[in-house]
Structure 1
Amino acid sequence: MSHPYPAGGIRLPAFSKGNRDTQVGSTHHFTGGLVLGDGPGGDGPERRMGQESNLERKATLILHARPETVSLVEQVLFKWINPNNAPGKQLVPHWIDLVQTQANGQVIGYAVRPTAHAGPEYQLKLARIKTQAVAQGVLDDLRLFTEEDVCPVEWHNARQFLAVRRPDLFADPVAADVVGRMTGVCTLDDLVSATGLEGMGFRALVRLIRSGHLEMVRHERIAHTSQVFKAKEF
């Protein structure tokens, strides 16, 4: 996403914070890029992120959408000691696919890998890296993320958050006013009707779910029939 300058031109998202560039093209596997965050410019939270597999893309969107996530960085370098290497060559680089900083201060690393390629040998290597990273205070945990961790509900809602993330200077204040006055549990359809803005109102309400002002009663795909309640004041 780009943002207009007040005096003309555009402001592009900031570059990735990763320690290495991801591939921009391959004949053998998926490559891609995302722009995630809420603000424009180099000093804002909006930033480019690269992916080298479709599973990495799913993991990135799902983790970014979780309310506990404060920041997410891809391809973070960690040098670990491999006891199987020859003396003097034990220190080897490893790039952690995703590193999530949570609101509680915990820093969690994720190795994103299909189950078919995460056999015992790889898991042993990952366990050694985890032990060293935690001991050095680089991470609080290192977890394996496979296709089995892709929750269909989280995946659907994460894509919806991404699709509606551009602010609407007209609809957003209207939706905030409606939500500010709501009590108890309502369906999104009730709130959309109260805004009088149909699709614009629905998108604005989804942004309020993303920001934590609204919370869903059930863990389900966001839809007009979803029940929500006010979870945070403006």
Structure 2
Amino acid sequence: MSYHFQSSGIRLPDFSRGKRKTQVGSTKHFTGGLVLGDREGVRFGTESHLEKNAVLLLAYRATTLDLIEQVRFAWYDEDGEYFDHYIDAVQWRTDGKVVGYAVRPMGRVSDAYLRKLARIKEQAIAQCFLDDFRLFSEKDVCPVELHNATLFHSVRRSDDFADPVAQDVCKNVCGIATVGALVDKTGLEGMGFRAVVRLIRSGHIQMLRNEKIERSTEIIRTRVA
């Protein structure tokens, strides 16, 4: 649950929903955490820089409904012995599918590890626990998508003043426009830019090309409400 402090109105994010606590510090590898969600959000632990990137990419894809880290799945080996495997990230998608991701750099992917993942995948699908189980490596990180996901994350909190102004400007878009043109019409400079980015994230406007979101980015209006 989120904790509300009556004196200041501050609400802390919900605790992680993962079944295993991630490390909060290490001398050998990156550890960290994110808060996902538009309001107070929920904590999401990561144990590598690649995991952090994977979480940002998956969380801000339009096909993602929900994302949970460290989801426990019990699997058995060829001798019938059971083990717990903690899936790094599980994505609930808009098409109804549930997809698990094992996040690991290719330099640490061995044949034995791939055989283990294949066995877990077969059992998870057979038990209707997942619809798919995939390896996520550095090869799956698109710099453009990561830039935009990071931008979406940085502006995720709504602005009660700027957002309605940007929405009114968006209603008057006819044909192709640019992000910069919309920002100029808001008259809010940086606040306006962040509000326009949120409209891209919400699907009110759509980019014409897969590129880093900048003032020169061309957009079209897709919906008003």
TM-score by length of 1: 0.92
Q: Distance in 2 between matches of 1:3 and 1:229?
A: 40
Amino acid at match of 2:143: P
Amino acid at match of 1:73: I
Amino acid at match of 1:197: L
Following TM superposition, the consecutive aligned residue runs of length 4 or more in structure 1 with deviations greater than 2 angstroms are 2-9
Amino acid at match of 1:133: A
What's the offset of the Cα at 1:106? 0.5
Question: Match for residue 178 of structure 1?
Answer: 169
Question: Match for residue 164 of structure 1?
Answer: 155
Q: Distance in 2 between matches of 1:102 and 1:6?
A: 36
Q: Distance in 2 between matches of 1:223 and 1:6?
A: 39
| Secondary structure, aligned partner of 1:16 | coil
Percent identity of equivalent pairs: 54
What's the offset of the Cα at 1:184? 1.1
Question: Match for residue 201 of structure 2?
Answer: 210
Question: Match for residue 59 of structure 1?
Answer: 54
What's the offset of the Cα at 1:6? 6.7
Q: Residues 41-90 of structure 1, C-alpha deviation per residue, up to 9 Å, x if partnerless?
A: xxxxx10000000000000001001001000000000000111x4x5xx1
| Secondary structure, aligned partner of 2:153 | helix
What's the offset of the Cα at 1:91? 0.7
What's the offset of the Cα at 1:4? 7.4
Residue 216 of structure 2 is aligned to residue 225 of structure 1: yes
Q: Distance in 2 between matches of 1:4 and 1:231?
A: 37
Q: Distance in 2 between matches of 1:154 and 1:82?
A: 37
| Counterpart contact for 2:39–2:157, Cα < 8 Å | no
What's the offset of the Cα at 1:30? 0.6
What's the offset of the Cα at 1:194? 1.1
What's the offset of the Cα at 1:100? 0.2
What's the offset of the Cα at 1:233? 2.4
> Which sections of structure 2, spanning at least 5 residues, go unmatched?
none
Question: Match for residue 33 of structure 1?
Answer: 33
> Which sections of structure 1, spanning at least 5 residues, go unmatched?
41-45
Question: Match for residue 91 of structure 1?
Answer: 82
| Secondary structure, aligned partner of 2:86 | strand
TM-score by length of 2: 0.95
Amino acid at match of 1:192: V
Question: Match for residue 75 of structure 1?
Answer: 70
Q: CA RMSD in A?
A: 1.6
Change (3 A) 1:4 1:225: farther
The size of the alignment, in residue pairs, is: 224
Q: Distance in 2 between matches of 1:47 and 1:109?
A: 19
